Amino acid sequence: MGTVTEFRTLGKESPSAAYASGFADGRSARGEGSVLTLYLQVGIDDYARGFRAGFFPQLNHSGTVDER
């Protein structure tokens, strides 16, 4: 059974549409083994931040990687 993970940005009630879109695209790119462009590596807009959040594995509370 899968685990449901909630993500939030600091200071906002819910993530922006650009962040959510970037997050989904980042998860897809990680699954495909894609390489990050320079924009996605250093971009400071909501889409790039969301992409990195979805692309890079996150640590869960037990200190292990959450494979979502």
Q: CA 58, 61, 63, 66 torsion: positive or negative?
A: negative
Domain-located, residue 38: yes
CB 26 within 8 A of CB 67: no
Domain-located, residue 52: yes
Domain-located, residue 7: no
**Number of domains making up the chain:** 1
pLDDT at res. 51: 94
Task: Give the tens place of pLDDT for each residue, 4-24.
Answer: 666 655 655 688 999 999 999
Domain-located, residue 10: no
Q: How many Å apart are CA 27 and CA 11, to the nearest integer? A: 23
Cα–Cα–Cα angle for 59, 24, 40, rounded to 5 degrees: 80
Domain-located, residue 11: no
- pLDDT at residue 52 greater than cutoff 80: yes
| C-alpha distances in Å from residue 43, one per residue of 22, 29, 47 | 11, 16, 8
Q: In terms of residue numbers, what domain contains 29?
A: 17-66
Domain-located, residue 12: no
Task: Give the tens place of pLDDT for each residue, 18-49.
Answer: 999 999 999 999 999 899 999 999 999 999 99
